[in-house]
Amino acid sequence: MALATFECTAIEKDGRRFPLKVSIGRPYQRGSDPEMWACPVHIDPLYTHLADIAGADSFQALCLASRMALELLDGFIKRGGQLVHQGGEPVSLDSYIPIPTKGANS
């Protein structure tokens, strides 16, 4: 079961459109080690075989899973794709969590 979801329309560089759904699952303790947690993440249909994201605690695993999803979506956009809301307006990934760019000053 998803803890959080996001849905939009993705548009490939060649103009092909398809529904996109991002789901972040509930973090869970992996094995018996109290410092090993994992969090499921799905980006359908772009990435169908993502491994659960590991962290030292549930919050870290959740944050890392969310960040990875945003970075993969950002990569899709940088390769010429687009993400749009149902009304057609562009999705701003920065409105979720600003994605730092390499070489940017902090």
Q: Which residue has the higher pLDDT, 103 or 48?
A: 48
Instruction: Please give the pLDDT value at position 33.
Output: 81
Global confidence as pTM: 0.85
Report how far residue 68's alpha carbon sits from residue 70's, in angstroms, rounded to the nearest whole number: 5
Over residues 15-57, the pLDDT tens digits come to 999 999 999 999 999 888 878 999 999 999 999 899 999 999 9
Which whole number is the average pLDDT over 1-8? 91
- Whether residue 43 contacts residue 20, with contact meaning beta carbons closer than 8 Å, is answered with yes
Between CA 86 and CA 32 the distance in angstroms is: 43
Mean pLDDT, residues 9-16: 97
